[in-house]
Amino acid sequence: MNTKQILQLTGFTLAGLGIVFGNPTAGLSDAHISKIAPSNTNFIKDVQSLKKIGQVTALIPEASTADQASEYSVDGQSGDTAFPHARFKALATVGEYDPNTGLPLTGYPDGQAAWLADEDTVRVAYQSESYAKNSNETYPWVMSSGATFTGSHIHAIDYNRAKFAGFLDNGTAASEMFEASKHLFDKVYNVFGDEVTSKASGGVWGNQALPNGTLVNFASSKVLSQADFFFHSFCGSHHEKANKYGTGKGFADDVWLMAEEWNLGNSFYAETNSVDTMGLASMVVDTATGVAYTVPALGQSGYEKLLPVNPGTTDHVVIICAGYNYDLPNDTAPMRIYVGKKGLDAQGNPVNQNDPNASVRDKFLARNGLLYGKVYGMALANANYATLNLSAPNLTALNAGQTNQQLLDNYVSDPTAPNTFSVRYYPTTYKWNGWGTANAVSVANTEATKWFNADQQPSGYTFFPADDKVEHPAVDPDITKFRFVQNLTNNGALLGIEFTNLIAELTASSNLPDYVSADVRRIIGAEDGSLTLETGGKGIAPTGPNNLDGTKTAAGHVGAGNKRKMVAPDGLQWIKTADADVLIVDEDSGNSYGERKYALVLNPQSLELAQPGKGW
C-alpha cells in the first residue's frame, strides 16, 4: 500500500502541499506503532511530517561523534559535518515519498548507480534490501501482470541534470532538482522462463518453487502478509552500459544486474528442504523496456554482486560472481566468475535476432551472452598450496561441513606468505540446460554443491576454498585492463585479480574456454597493522568499553579492539581520476563506534597501495 492509498483509506488527501485529515482506522493506527519507539502512536503527527523525495537535508554520516550541543541536541539533524577528506549532501532519504505517485522510498539502501536517462536527466537507482520475515516486509511492488512482491525494491529517481551538476556547490535540497521516481521494472520472468503472474492465477517464484514448478509454502512464521512473493535482498546491484569496452564488447544492451543474496535456510520452509527448491535468482533487467529476467545460467545459489569485466572479445561476456552460496553446510566456495558466449541459446544454437518466432526474452538474453555459459571457480595448482604456507584442501572435511578449510582466508591472514600467486578458473561439469520444468534442477544439483567433489577437481589443481562471505568487487575503470579488486569480508582483506591470457583462452575454440588464467595480488592482508586510516583530526569515536577515555579514533577499528586492519569490508568502488586510482570502501561490521568509510589510493601499475598500509 502506498502513501496515497493510506491517506485515502484513512480520510486523508494530498492536494498539492495541503493535507486534509480524517480519523485513521484502529487497525492502521495499531500497525503504525513504531518498533523502534513503541510510544510513538501519533499517526496524524507523522503524516503531517511527511517529506518529499530530496526534502531531508540532514546527514547520517558524521565526521566525529557528536561532542557539541549543536550536533546532538536536535533530533533528526546532522551531526559533525566537518569531513576532512570529502563533502556529502543527501540525494534522498528512506521514507520520503514521491509527490506524484505517493510511493515512499524503502530501505535498506545498497547496490546503486547513476546514469543519463536522457540528455537532461540524471537517473539514480538503488536497491533496498529486505529479508522478509527475517527483518521487515515492504509494501507490495505491483507488476503489470498483477503479481505482487515484497522484499527488495529497485527505486529509480530522476533529477534535473543541470541542477545536479551544481548540487554539491549550492545550499539547496535535492527536492529542488527532483523530477520523478519509479520502480526500475514492472515485468519479471522466473527461473522457468515464464512471466510471473499473481499467486492466485498460478504464478510461481523460484525461491518458493520446486523443479517441477510446484509452489511450496513458507513456514507459518515466515508467511508473507504484504504480497504474493518475495524478492530476497538484491544487495550489490549494478548498472552496466552497452558496449562499455568498445564497439561490440561487453553487453549489447544497457542492463541492471542483481542477484538474490545470502540464503533462505530450512527455517523458511514448511514442506521441503531449502536446497530442494530452485534457490535464489540471478537476474538482469533490460532498463530500456523495464523487464527483469531470471538468468539461471549465472547460477541459482545467490550472490552478493554480479559485476562485468572486460572480456576483450566481441563474442563473450565475463562476470564476477561474488559472495554467498546457497545454504551450504560449510559456508565455503571458491571465488567465481561466469563466462558466456553471445548469440547462442542454452544448447549452443544461434538465436536469430530477426526471427519473429524467437521470443523477446531469448533474443535479449542471447545477444548479451546470458543463455550459453558456465560458472568457473578459482583453483590453485596442487603444488602451489605449500608455497602459500597451506596444506591442500581436505575434500572429505569440506564435504562433511567443516569450516576450518577456508584456505584463502587463512592465506590472507598470514603475513609471511608471498603477496602474489597464480590461479586458474575452471568450471564443474554442471551447465544450465534451458527453460522449463523438464530442464530445471534444484540448487542442490547445480555447480553450487560440486566444487569440492573429488571427481570435479581439475587435473593438477584443486578448487581454492574461501569463506563464502566475500562482498563487493570493483572493476578497473580503465577499459583496456582485464582486472578487478575483491573484498574478502570474513577476515578483512583486499585482493587484486588480473586475467593474464583472457582473449587467447576465450577464443581458443568455438566452445567455452577450458579455463581462465589469472594472477592474484594480496593488496591488504588481514593481520593487525595492515591498514591505518588518516582521520584528518576527526573520526573521534564515542566513549565506551573499548574507548574508556574517549580519545580513540577511526584510525583503527575501535569496536574490534582498535585493530589497524580492514574489518568486514562490504561496499567497494574503484574511481579513476586524472591523477589517482582510488578505492572507496564501506565497512559493514556492526561497529557501535561508527562504521568506517575510507579511501585507498592504488598504484595502477602494481595494484599495491600507493602508500603502504595507509588509507584516508
Three-class SS of 318-387 = EEEEECCCCCCCCCEECCEEEEEECCECCCCCECCCCCCCCCHHHHHHHHCCCCCEEEEEEEEEHHHCHH
pLDDT at site 133: 87
User: Which helix (H) or strand (E) covers residue 258, if one does?
Assistant: strand 255-259
pLDDT at site 440: 98
Instruction: List the one residue out of 88, 161, 370 whose CA is nearest residue 255.
Output: 370
Q: What is the pLDDT of residues 73-86, one digit of tens each?
A: 778 889 999 999 99
pLDDT at site 488: 97
Question: Which amino acid makes up residue 526?
Answer: A
pLDDT at site 18: 41
* Regions of the chain where pLDDT drops below 50: 1, 9-28, 30-31
Question: pTM for this structure?
Answer: 0.94
pLDDT at site 37: 62
pLDDT at site 85: 93
pLDDT at site 403: 82
- 3-state helix, strand, coil split of the chain in percent (to 5) is 15, 30, 55
pLDDT at site 5: 53
Note whether 482 and 310 are within 8 A (CB).
Answer: yes
CA angle 431, 435, 440 (to 5 degrees): 65
Other C-beta atoms within 10 Å of 29: how many? 15
pLDDT at site 388: 98
Alpha-carbon distance of 504 to 554, in angstroms, equals 46
